[in-house]
Amino acid sequence: MKLKLTFTALITFLYGVSAFAQSFRAPAYPLITHDPYFSIWSTTDQLAASTTKHWTGSEQSITGMLKVDGKTYRFLGEESKTFTTLLAAADEE
């Protein structure tokens, strides 16, 4: 009986500890590193979740696309934004 009670207490303790454990994640992952002044980082766990950034925080957008059986898949970088033209420039008319 004492062994069963000890085992139950141990399992309950381990379950409680794992429920409150922190998940560790790096703040950014290096994608391209040439030297300290030229490096591009992904700041999310998923490559396609956000734009890639320079180590200073400014956006250095890279888009990776893969075409399989005529269908294009984006695996790196955020989907590009499209804008509508309100007033065309002189060279666009």
Task: Please count the CA atoms within 13 angstroms of the CA of 80 that sit on its side-chain side.
Answer: 9
> What whole-number percentage of the chain has pLDDT above 90?
9
pTM over 0.85: no
Q: H or E segment at 72? A: strand 71-76
pLDDT at 24: 73
pLDDT in tens, 26-65: 788 888 888 878 889 988 888 888 888 888 888 888 888 9
> What whole-number percentage of the chain has pLDDT above 70?
89
67 or 80, greater pLDDT: 67
- Among candidate residues 83, 74, 84, 78, the one with its CA nearest the CA of residue 50: 78
